[in-house]
C-alpha cells in the first residue's frame, strides 16, 4: 500500500496561469481526487490537448502527455486500450474538445473506454487572446471580442448524451471540494465519464465571472435528482429519465445545475474487444510480452 501525501501528487513546477484563473481550482481538485483514491502515480496518466488547460499535466506528479490540438481523446483512448491497468484522465478546454476536437468527442462516446475526460469550459480561447469558443452564446460579447458572437453555443452535456457517454457530470472550478468528489466518481465509473467544468477566465471572459455564477449554481443531488439509469428499464421509464436529463442539461440562466446528471451501465470498449478478440488483454501483460500478442485474434 502506497503511503503518499497530497503534496506527492504536485509537481515542483508552479502553474503560470493568470491570477484568479479557474484552472487552479481544477488542478487542486484533481490532485486531491488522485490522492484520496490512492492512485499510484506510476500507473496514472493525465493527457491534455492544447490551450491554457493543457498545462495541467505539467503541474502534477504523475505521468503526463501534452498532445495536439483537439487530439487528446484518441491518444488517451489508445493508451488506455494498450495498457488497461492505467488510470487515464484526459483534460482540455471547450475550444480544444468541442471545436477542432468535436469529431473525436462524439466518436469517444460511441466506444465507452474506461477513462475520464474533463472539459474546462471558459467559453473563450484563452491561450490565443480570448476568441469566442464553441460554448459562448449567440450575441454574447466578452471584452476580448470586437463584436457580439455571431454563432450559437454548443451544449456539452447534451452532446455527450447524444454521443453515448455513460457518466455525465458538471462541476464548478471554484467549488474545489465538490469538484473533487465529481472527479473521484468519474474516475471510478466503469466506462467513459465526461465532466464538464465551468471555469471562469478572469482575463478574457467578463460575462460569466465567479460573481455571475455564484447566485445561479445549485446542486442537483440536493434537490433529489437521481442520475442512476439501471439496466432493464422499460421504454417508458427510460423516456422519463431521458426527459429529466435533457431538461436539467438545458437549464442555463437564472439557475445552473451542477452534480451528476447521468450514470448508466454499459459494456466498456475493453470488454467489447475481449468478446471478439479473445487474446485482448483484460490486464496488460508484463512488458516484453506485448509483442507476442496477436490482436487479430
Chain contacts with ligand SF4 (rule: CB under 6 A): 17-18, 21, 23, 52, 122, 126, 201-204
Helices 235-250 and 156-163: crossing angle in degrees, nearest 10, is 150
- Closest by Cα among 43, 72, 57, 48 to 10: 57
What's the CA gap between 194 and 222, in Å, rounded? 21
What's the CA gap between 119 and 295, in Å, rounded? 32
- Residue (110 or 129) nearer to ligand SF4, CB: 129
- Residue (131 or 155) nearer to ligand SF4, CB: 131
- Residue (112 or 122) nearer to ligand SF4, CB: 122
CB of 144 to ligand SF4, least distance (A): 9
- Residue (164 or 202) nearer to ligand SF4, CB: 202
- Closest by Cα among 66, 142, 77, 74 to 103: 74
Q: How far is CA 212 from the centre of its chain?
A: 23
What's the CA gap between 12 and 77, in Å, rounded? 28
Helices (H), 83-143: 94-95, 102-111
CB of 140 to ligand SF4, least distance (A): 16
- Residue (211 or 236) nearer to ligand SF4, CB: 211
- Residue (125 or 280) nearer to ligand SF4, CB: 125
- Residue (89 or 173) nearer to ligand SF4, CB: 173
CB of 203 to ligand SF4, least distance (A): 4
CB of 253 to ligand SF4, least distance (A): 23
CB of 83 to ligand SF4, least distance (A): 31
What's the CA gap between 89 and 29, in Å, rounded? 13
CB of 53 to ligand SF4, least distance (A): 7
CB of 89 to ligand SF4, least distance (A): 19
Q: Which residues pair with 196 in a beta bridge?
A: 119, 170
CB of 114 to ligand SF4, least distance (A): 29
Q: Which residues pair with 194 in a beta bridge?
A: 117, 168
Strand 124-125 versus strand 131-132 pairing type: antiparallel
- Residue (118 or 201) nearer to ligand SF4, CB: 201
Query: Residues 37, 42, 47, 48: what is their CA dihedral angle, to the nearest 10 degrees?
Result: 90
Quote the strand ranges of 84-175, DSSP E.
Answer: 87-93, 115-121, 124-125, 131-132, 167-172
Tally of CB atoms within 10 A around 274:
16
Amino acid at each position: 500500500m502506497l503511503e503518499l501525501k497530497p503534496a506527492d501528487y504536485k509537481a515542483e513546477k508552479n502553474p503560470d496561469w493568470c491570477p484568479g484563473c479557474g484552472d487552479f481550482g481544477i488542478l487542486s481538485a484533481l490532485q486531491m481526487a488522485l490522492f484520496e483514491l490512492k492512485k499510484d502515480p506510476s500507473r496514472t496518466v493525465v493527457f491534455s490537448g492544447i490551450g491554457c488547460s493543457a498545462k495541467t499535466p505539467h503541474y502534477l506528479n504523475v505521468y503526463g502527455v501534452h498532445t495536439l490540438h483537439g487530439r487528446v481523446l484518441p491518444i488517451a483512448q489508445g493508451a488506455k486500450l494498450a495498457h488497461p491497468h492505467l488510470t487515464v484522465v484526459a483534460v482540455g478546454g471547450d475550444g480544444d474538445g468541442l471545436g477542432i476536437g468535436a469529431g473525436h468527442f462524439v466518436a469517444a462516446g460511441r466506444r465507452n473506454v474506461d477513462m475520464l475526460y474533463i472539459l474546462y469550459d471558459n467559453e473563450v480561447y484563452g491561450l490565443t487572446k480570448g476568441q469566442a469558443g464553441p460554448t459562448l452564446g449567440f450575441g454574447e460579447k466578452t471584452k476580448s471580442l470586437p463584436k457580439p458572437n455571431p454563432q450559437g453555443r454548443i451544449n456539452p452535456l447534451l452532446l455527450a448524451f447524444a454521443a453515448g457517454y455513460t457518466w455525465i457530470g458538471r462541476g464548478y472550478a471554484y467549488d474545489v471540494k465538490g469538484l473533487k468528489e465529481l472527479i473521484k466518481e468519474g474516475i471510478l465509473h466503469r466506462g467513459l465519464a465526461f465532466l464538464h467544468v465551468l471555469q471562469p477566465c478572469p482575463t478574457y471572459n467578463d460575462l460569466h465571472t465567479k460573481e455571475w455564477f455564484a447566485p445561479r449554481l445549485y446542486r442537483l443531488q440536493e434537490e433529489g435528482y437521481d442520475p442512476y439509469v439501471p439496466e432493464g428499464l422499460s421504454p417508458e421509464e427510460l423516456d422519463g429519465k431521458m426527459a429529466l436529463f435533457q431538461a436539467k442539461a438545458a437549464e442555463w440562466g437564472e439557475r445552473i445545475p451542477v452534480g451528476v446528471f447521468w450514470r448508466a451501465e454499459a459494456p466498456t470498449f475493453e470488454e467489447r474487444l475481449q468478446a471478439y478478440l479473445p487474446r485482448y488483454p483484460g490486464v496488460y501483460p508484463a512488458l516484453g510480452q506485448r509483442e507476442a500478442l496477436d490482436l487479430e485474434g
